[in-house]
């Protein structure tokens, strides 16, 4: 691999210098002279559109155009695509780009205005009068399930999909089990909420008949395919670029958004540049949310706490439309199993329509709910048996010698749910050590002596990462010796430019400073899937490594000719090909690049060396000798199935006896994502994920009223954590390589967020002796829970109930 | 036609003029009229702190100020934090060293806030750092490395002062 040690090093990020000096280029930083689009959006959760009157808007200075559904031609007027069809999604429905007849959630776009600037576009939008006939709104999971009213007339029961996953005979297993528990869990809606919202900017080139579109997206190649299809353009005439993206966390994987079709369409029609930048309120009501589920759990187990049968019925709220299919239900129902061997298992997810904004993956993508379910179940079992919570988990863990472990289900990539590698008992031992699990009772006693109430909690998860179908990489070394790496996969701030450069530098044996990385630009790489499901490092990382290996081999072949050596005797160090152990017999890669491209014309001094009268060699051979010109290579990585990362988190919390405020005193993470490319970046991903998890556990919820109005659609009222809410996060790593890919890596992007709600619930329950069955847990919620538990012993844990009795006597 | 007003101000040490309607936000003036897009807008209502700039040295939310009210004032944006020769400021260097940013969208606001914070309090305690940055949201980093960056910046500033 050459002498350059760069893979695995915590090197500083390549993207930082521009981002720290204001030189980043996010969507709204582009297109300074573009016309601005603004949207008239439905103020009703469910209504019939009777009339749209634009008269008053027409005399707004600077107005260019107003469009409603009636104005849309051909395929632009059709419903947006259902991106991921699935047999269980029997009643999939998607929205029109602009509402046709009926609106089904507050925020649904009804008309588009284009004007000289955004102020004027908003002026015009505010003067468009839409006459609505309000219809009954379906809000909340249980109301959707009761189906007194329908979100879509032709979807009976509001049921979009019924997904079932099963292994073994769960009814028989539970019936035969020595112990059985049944309970209900609730998880509220939250959202990705990147600080940069969505945005689209389109430039039509009438002379060339081509379109260039910038979108703050997680999937530029697929946005291109969608735009080309909708506008009837050949894919080669559409380029889509994801510029610097100010966070995505899942929400920007959805595509095409209505705006991603309408803005390019209008740009072509008007032959003018058009840009739309989402504002914060729009992001709340017109992008996407996630998480909301109600779970009914029935579990049978033995005296040790071994789960013999687990039956979970989940009601999932997917909002008004299903453009992203049933990915979240699939992920919840498969990843629920975590690191455990569960006897028989059945999960039934009923995915329901409501008159609320759509629900699509947000970091974790259904896993936080699944893990909440399983980990709450483990704690219930431990409490029922009076056993240690960690010990109950321990007896259920898959052992290291049982890999590959087949869970017997089908995962979100349509492939079997087979865990490739891991060491779960080691993770558990390490997290217990890190948090001080075994000595916690002394700590609790010390706190109690000071009148303080503290508790400890634990949560474990397995995360399927690096889902297919594929990603690609292109690596090219130019005649200055610079290495250009491209992958079609986008970045949303994770540091891809850095880690991909590390991978290429390590594979090629060049200084990392010489590597430049381009992501998410269809002009550089046209085939890709996107950044989601903790897949970027695994998928594009391996593709780039494979492409770099091709380039390395080619460089060695060409250098071997020049040095009259055997390629097997050569290696590359600091960008120079040389004979192993003999640095004097050497040729720099920049010269190899020159030699790789036989030339007729010299355009500079370097190029002279490759022209026909300068190159000697065998006159009977064609100059290319069977090679393609250029020192470049392209390759793809396509895994048979996902690779499974894992981790365990633990926390110590303190609850205020009076205000019911929860304070996190310590938070510890042990994480295993295989080989680390850049430990600093992995840690950063974990910190950020945990912070989002804490938001979901204690603060964030989407508050809809019964008429479907989102009451907290601003940063004033939707409480995301500031620095003051996030504790220091202690981390440790295990590195169990994946046997599935050349680099032995697993994904890390979502890990931090996954078990946090489960961990906090476990710790608060331990501190309070009161069962925690819903998240998030605000001080209000906890206060009310305390009051109810005073009257109702079934709300108290057995230890909590015992303590309460002791206090009473 | 909307009435517009002449605005004169100093941005990053350079005298600038612009014409804008009374309702135009300072953030829009900086970004779209003056082309200084390093100042970002995250919520348009003064909560997230992405749009923080220094007005006569004090951090303000440029999305909550009308551009006309900045007339005659001096503004520093993220583009003006580095030295005249382009050397990154100690605060900028510290954020890179400590991995205090990921997507970079909130970063300019943090950099401006922290620049003012350390000018007023060169050796803040942990509590003071938390307090000092508690008006800025970050959705990527979990803040741990931002806090570390602030302390590191304080060290770098102290070294520079020596």
Question: With an 8 Å Cβ cutoff, are A495 and B45 in contact?
Answer: no
Which candidate in A30, A245, A722 is best for mutational testing of the B interface (most B CBs within 10 A)? A722
Q: Are A24 and A91 in contact (CB under 8 A)?
A: no
Q: Tell me the shortest Cα–Cα distance from B6 to chain A, in angstroms.
A: 18
Phi, psi of A139 (to 5 degrees): -130, 130
Question: Which of A375, A426, A379, A417 lies closest to A399, judged by CA?
Answer: A426
Q: How far apart are CA A123 and CA A112, in angstroms?
A: 12
Band (pLDDT 50/70/90 cuts) for residue A601 is confident
Is A174 a domain residue? no
Residues within 8 A of B (CB atoms), A 442-501 only = 492-495
**Cis peptide bond upstream of B39, omega within 30:** no
Neighbours of A616 (CB within 10 A): 6
Is A479 a domain residue? yes
> Per-residue DSSP letters for A284-347?
HHHS-BB--EEEEEEEEE-TT--EEEEEEEEEEE--S--TTTTHHHHHHHHHTTTTB--SEEEE
Report which of residues A611 and B18 the model is more confident about: B18
Residues A461, A586, single domain; the answer is no
Neighbours of A50 (CB within 10 A): 10
Q: Are B56 and B74 in contact (CB under 8 A)?
A: yes
Q: Is A668 on the interface with B (CB under 8 A)?
A: no
Which candidate in B1, B28, B139, B141 is best for mutational testing of the A interface (most A CBs within 10 A)? B139
Q: Is A700 on the interface with B (CB under 8 A)?
A: no
Q: Is A53 on the interface with B (CB under 8 A)?
A: no
Report which of residues A538 and A614 the model is more confident about: A538
Mean predicted confidence (pLDDT) in A237-264? 97
- DSSP H helices in A156-287: 170-176, 220-231, 258-270, 280-286
Residues A599, A666, single domain; the answer is no
Mean predicted confidence (pLDDT) in A584-607? 90
Residues A484, A622, single domain; the answer is yes
CA-based nearest residue in chain B for residue A192: B139
Question: With an 8 Å Cβ cutoff, are B92 and A21 in contact?
Answer: yes
Neighbours of A613 (CB within 10 A): 8
Q: How far apart are CA A671 and CA A646, in angstroms?
A: 6
Question: With an 8 Å Cβ cutoff, are A19 and B130 in contact?
Answer: no
Is residue A1's pLDDT more than 80? Answer: no
Q: How far apart are CA A241 and CA A244, in angstroms?
A: 10
pLDDT in the model for residue A805 = 65
Say if B4-80 and B90-161 have the same CATH topology. Answer: no
Is residue A803's pLDDT more than 80? Answer: no
Looking at chain A, the whole-number percentage of residues with pLDDT higher than 70 is: 98
A16, A119, A687: residue with CB nearest B101: A16
Band (pLDDT 50/70/90 cuts) for residue A804 is low
Q: Tell me the shortest Cα–Cα distance from A174 to chain B, in angstroms.
A: 42
Q: A339-389: per-residue pLDDT in tens? A: 999 999 999 999 999 999 999 999 999 999 999 999 999 999 999 999 999
Q: Among A265, A286, A307, which residue terminates a domain?
A: A286
Question: Which of A456, A463, A341, A335 lies closest to A394, judged by CA?
Answer: A341
Q: Are A435 and A668 in contact (CB under 8 A)?
A: yes
Q: Which residues pair with A63 in a beta bridge?
A: A115
Q: A614-669: per-residue pLDDT in tens? A: 777 778 888 888 889 999 999 999 999 999 999 999 999 999 999 999 999 999 99
B92 CB contacts (<8 Å, ≥6 apart)?
Answer: A20, A21, B81, B82, B111
Mean predicted confidence (pLDDT) in A331-341? 97
Mean predicted confidence (pLDDT) in A249-267? 97
Q: Among A613, A637, A661, which residue terminates a domain?
A: A637
Residues A300, A364, single domain; the answer is yes
Query: Where in the sequence is the domain holding A246, given as residue range(s)?
Result: 31-135+192-286
Looking at chain A, the whole-number percentage of residues with pLDDT higher than 90 is: 92
> Per-residue DSSP letters for A467-487?
-SS-EEEEEEE-TTS-EEEEE
SS3 B102: coil
Is residue A743's pLDDT more than 90? Answer: yes
Is A747 a domain residue? yes
Q: How far apart are CA A797 and CA A749, in angstroms?
A: 35
Angle of the A756-768 helix axis to the A679-694 helix axis, nearest 10: 50
Question: Which of A274, A309, A54 lies closest to A177, judged by CA?
Answer: A309
Query: Which segments of A80-207 are extended strands (E)?
Result: 102-103, 109-115, 129-134, 159-167, 179-187, 199-205
Q: Which residues pair with A163 in a beta bridge?
A: A349
pLDDT in the model for residue A2 = 40
Residues A644, A784, single domain; the answer is yes
Query: Which segments of A512-608 are extended strands (E)?
Result: 515-519, 570-573, 576-579, 582-588
Q: Are A131 and A47 in contact (CB under 8 A)?
A: no
Q: Among A262, A286, A310, which residue terminates a domain?
A: A286
Phi, psi of B64 (to 5 degrees): -105, 5
Q: How far apart are CA A326 and CA A165, in angstroms?
A: 13
| pLDDT mean across residues, chain A | 95
Per-residue CA distances from B134 to A196, A425, A627, B130, B145 (Å): 19, 39, 59, 6, 14
The CATH number of the structural domain formed by B4-80 is: 3.10.20.30
Per-residue buried b or exposed e for B35-65, using 16+ beta carbons within 10 Å of the residue's own CB: ebbbbbbbbbebbbbbbbbbbeeebbbbbeb
Q: How far apart are CA A359 and CA B138, in angstroms?
A: 23
Size of interface A-B (CB pairs under 8 A): 168
**Superfamily of structural domain B90-161:** [2Fe-2S]-binding domain (1.10.150.120)
B140 interaction partners in chain A (CB closer than 8 Å): 247, 493, 684, 688
Which candidate in A246, A682, A685 is best for mutational testing of the B interface (most B CBs within 10 A)? A246
Residues A280, A303, single domain; the answer is no
Question: Which of B13, B51, B48, B46 lies closest to B32, judged by CA?
Answer: B51
Q: How far apart are CA A174 and CA A25, in angstroms?
A: 57
Q: Are A492 and A252 in contact (CB under 8 A)?
A: yes
Q: Tell me the shortest Cα–Cα distance from A158 to chain B, in angstroms.
A: 34
- Beta-sheet pairing, A199-205 with A274-277: antiparallel
pLDDT in the model for residue A3 = 40
A22, A25, A690: residue with CB nearest B77: A22
pLDDT in the model for residue A274 = 98
Question: With an 8 Å Cβ cutoff, are A720 and B141 in contact?
Answer: no
Listed range (A130-134, A164-168, A607-611, A628-632) with the worst mean pLDDT: A607-611
Question: Which of A535, A540, A532, A549 lies closest to A488, judged by CA?
Answer: A540
Residues A415, A452, single domain; the answer is yes
pLDDT in the model for residue A802 = 66
Domain boundaries, chain B: 4-80, 90-161
Q: How far apart are CA A501 and CA A510, in angstroms?
A: 10
pLDDT in the model for residue A807 = 64
Mean predicted confidence (pLDDT) in A432-437? 98
A19 interaction partners in chain B (CB closer than 8 Å): 101, 104, 107
A16, A681, A691: residue with CB nearest B143: A691
Question: With an 8 Å Cβ cutoff, are B47 and A715 in contact?
Answer: yes
Q: A63-89: per-residue pLDDT in tens? A: 999 999 999 999 999 999 999 999 999
Q: How far apart are CA B99 and CA B102, in angstroms?
A: 7
- Beta-sheet pairing, A179-187 with A774-775: parallel
Length, in residues, of chain B? 162
> Per-residue DSSP letters for A370-427?
HHHHHHHHHHHHHHHHT--HHHHHHHHBPPGGG-SEEEEEE-TTSSEEEE----HHHH
* Number of domains into which chain A is organized: 3
Listed range (A538-547, A581-590, A693-702) with the worst mean pLDDT: A581-590
Q: Is A714 on the interface with B (CB under 8 A)?
A: yes
Q: Which long-range contacts (CB under 8 A, 24 or more apart) does B61-65 make?
A: B62/B25, B62/B26, B62/B27, B62/B30, B63/B25, B63/B26, B63/B27, B64/B25, B65/B25, B65/B26, B65/B27
**Cis peptide bond upstream of A469, omega within 30:** yes
Q: Are A218 and A252 in contact (CB under 8 A)?
A: yes
Is A171 a domain residue? no
Question: With an 8 Å Cβ cutoff, are B50 and A17 in contact?
Answer: no
Query: Which segments of chain B are extended strands (E)?
Result: 4-11, 14-21, 52-55, 58-61, 74-76
Mean predicted confidence (pLDDT) in B6-20? 97
Question: With an 8 Å Cβ cutoff, are B103 and A29 in contact?
Answer: no
Q: Are A544 and A472 in contact (CB under 8 A)?
A: no
What sign has the CA pseudo-torsion A719, A722, A725, A729?
positive
Question: With an 8 Å Cβ cutoff, are A13 and B47 in contact?
Answer: no
CA-based nearest residue in chain B for residue A283: B43
Q: Are A10 and A678 in contact (CB under 8 A)?
A: yes
CATH number for the domain harbouring residue A262: 3.90.1170.50
Q: Tell me the shortest Cα–Cα distance from A679 to chain B, in angstroms.
A: 11
Mean predicted confidence (pLDDT) in A703-721? 97
Q: How far apart are CA A665 and CA A768, in angstroms?
A: 15
SS3 A524: coil
Question: With an 8 Å Cβ cutoff, are B38 and A25 in contact?
Answer: no
Is A176 a domain residue? no
Q: Is A696 on the interface with B (CB under 8 A)?
A: no
Is A687 a domain residue? yes
Residue whose tokens read 């979009």 = A160
Question: Which of A186, A185, A162, A93 lies closest to A351, judged by CA?
Answer: A162
> Per-residue DSSP letters for A14-30?
SSHHHHHTT---BGGGS
Residues A686, A546, single domain; the answer is no
Residues A444, A517, single domain; the answer is no
Question: Which of A62, A71, A25 lies closest to A272, judged by CA?
Answer: A62
What sign has the CA pseudo-torsion B145, B149, B150, B152?
positive
Residues A274, A310, single domain; the answer is no
Q: Give chain B's radius of gyration (CA, Å).
A: 16
Is A168 a domain residue? no
Mean predicted confidence (pLDDT) in A468-494? 96
């Amino acid at each position: 691999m050459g002498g350059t040690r760069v893979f695995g090093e915590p090197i500083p990020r390549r993207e930082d210098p521009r981002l720290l000096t204001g030189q980043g280029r996010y969507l709204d930083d582009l297109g300074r002279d573009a016309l601005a689009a603004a949207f008239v959006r439905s103020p009703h959760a469910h209504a019939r559109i009777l009339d749209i009157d634009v008269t008053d808007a027409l005399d707004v200075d600077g107005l260019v155009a107003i469009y409603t559904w009636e104005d849309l031609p051909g395929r632009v007027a059709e419903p947006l695509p259902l991106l991921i069809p699935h047999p269980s999604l029997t009643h999939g429905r998607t929205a029109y780009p602009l509402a046709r007849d009926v609106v089904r959630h507050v925020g649904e776009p009804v008309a588009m205005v284009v004007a000289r600037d955004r102020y004027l576009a908003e002026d015009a939008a505010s003067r468009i009068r839409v006459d609505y006939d309000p219809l009954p709104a379906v809000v909340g999971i249980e109301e959707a399930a009761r189906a007194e009213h329908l979100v879509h007339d032709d979807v009976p029961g509001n049921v979009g999909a019924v997904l079932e996953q099963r292994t073994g005979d769960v009814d028989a297993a539970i019936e035969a089990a020595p112990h059985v528990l049944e309970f209900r869990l609730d998880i509220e809606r939250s959202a990705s909420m990147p600080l940069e919202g969505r945005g689209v900017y389109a430039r039509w080139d009438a002379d060339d008949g081509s379109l260039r579109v910038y979108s703050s997206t997680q999937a530029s190649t697929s946005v291109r395919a969608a735009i080309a299809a909708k506008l009837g353009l050949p894919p080669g005439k559409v380029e889509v670029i994801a510029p610097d993206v100010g966070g995505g966390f899942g929400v920007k994987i959805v595509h095409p958004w209505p705006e991603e079709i309408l803005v390019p369409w209008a740009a072509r029609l008007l032959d003018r540049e058009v840009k739309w930048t989402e504002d914060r309120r729009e992001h709340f009501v017109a992008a996407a949310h996630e998480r909301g589920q109600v779970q009914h759990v029935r579990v049978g187990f033995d005296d040790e706490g071994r789960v013999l049968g687990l039956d979970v019925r989940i009601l999932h709220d997917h909002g008004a439309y299903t453009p992203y299919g049933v990915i979240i239900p699939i992920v919840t129902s498969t990843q629920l199993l975590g690191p455990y061997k569960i006897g028989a298992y059945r999960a039934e997810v009923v995915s329901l329509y409501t008159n609320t904004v759509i629900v699509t993956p947000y970091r974790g993508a259904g896993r936080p709910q699944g893990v909440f379910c399983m980990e709450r179940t483990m704690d219930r079992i431990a409490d029922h048996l009076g056993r240690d919570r960690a010990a109950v988990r321990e007896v259920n863990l898959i052992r290291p010698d049982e890999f590959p472990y087949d869970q017997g289900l089908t995962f979100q990539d349509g492939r079997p749910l087979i865990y490739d590698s891991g060491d779960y008992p080691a993770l558990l031992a390490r997290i217990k050590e890190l948090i001080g699990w075994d000595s916690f009772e002394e700590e609790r006693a010390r706190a109690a002596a000071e009148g303080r109430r503290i508790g400890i909690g634990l949560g474990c998860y397995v995360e399927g990462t690096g889902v297919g179908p594929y990603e690609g990489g292109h690596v090219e070394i130019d005649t200055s010796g610079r290495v250009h790496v491209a992958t079609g996969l986008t970045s949303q701030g994770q540091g891809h430019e850095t880690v991909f450069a590390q991978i290429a530098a390590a594979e090629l044996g060049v200084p990392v400073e010489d590597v430049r990385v381009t992501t998410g630009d269809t002009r550089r790489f046209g085939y890709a899937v996107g950044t989601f499901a903790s897949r970027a490092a695994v998928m594009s990382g391996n593709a780039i490594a494979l492409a770099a290996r091709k380039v390395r081999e080619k460089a060695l072949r060409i250098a071997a000719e020049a040095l009259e050596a055997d390629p097997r005797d050569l290696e590359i160090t600091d960008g120079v090909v040389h004979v192993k152990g003999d640095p004097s017999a050497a040729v720099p890669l920049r010269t190899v690049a020159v030699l790789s491209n036989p030339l007729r014309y010299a355009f500079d001094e370097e190029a002279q060396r490759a022209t026909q009268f300068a190159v000697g060699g065998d006159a009977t051979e064609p100059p290319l000798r069977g090679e393609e010109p250029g020192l470049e290579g392209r390759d793809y990585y396509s895994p048979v199935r996902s690779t499974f990362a894992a981790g365990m988190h633990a926390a110590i919390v303190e609850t205020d006896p009076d205000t019911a405020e929860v304070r996190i005193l310590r938070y510890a993470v042990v994480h295993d994502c295989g080989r680390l490319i850049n430990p600093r970046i992995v840690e950063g991903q974990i910190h950020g994920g945990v912070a989002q998890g804490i938001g979901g556990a204690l603060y964030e919820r989407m508050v809809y009223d019964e008429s479907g109005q989102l009451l907290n659609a601003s940063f004033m009222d939707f409480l995301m954590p500031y620095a003051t809410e996030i504790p220091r996060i202690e981390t440790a790593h295990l590195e169990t390589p994946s046997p599935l890919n050349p680099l032995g890596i697993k994904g890390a992007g979502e890990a931090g967020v996954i078990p946090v709600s489960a961990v906090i619930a476990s710790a608060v329950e331990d501190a309070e002796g009161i069962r925690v069955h819903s998240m998030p847990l605000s001080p209000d919620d906890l206060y009310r829970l305390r009051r109810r538990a005073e009257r109702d012993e079934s709300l108290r844990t057995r230890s909590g109930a015992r303590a309460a009795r002791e206090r009473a006597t | 036609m909307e009435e517009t007003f002449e605005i004169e101000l100093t941005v990053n040490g350079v005298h600038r003029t612009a014409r804008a309607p009374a309702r135009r936000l300072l953030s829009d003036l900086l970004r779209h009229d003056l082309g200084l897009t390093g100042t970002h807008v995250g919520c348009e209502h003064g909560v997230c702190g992405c749009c923080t700039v220094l007005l006569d040295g004090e951090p303000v939310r440029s999305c909550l100020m009308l551009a006309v009210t900045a007339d005659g004032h001096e503004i520093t944006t993220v583009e003006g934090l580095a030295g005249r020769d382009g050397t990154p400021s100690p605060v900028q260097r510290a954020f890179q060293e400590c991995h205090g940013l990921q997507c970079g969208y909130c970063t300019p606001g943090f950099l401006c806030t922290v620049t003012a914070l350390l000018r007023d309090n060169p050796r803040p305690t942990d509590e003071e750092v938390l307090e000092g940055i508690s008006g800025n949201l970050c959705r990527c980093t979990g803040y741990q490395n931002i806090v570390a960056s602030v302390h590191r910046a304080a060290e770098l500033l102290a070294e520079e002062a020596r």
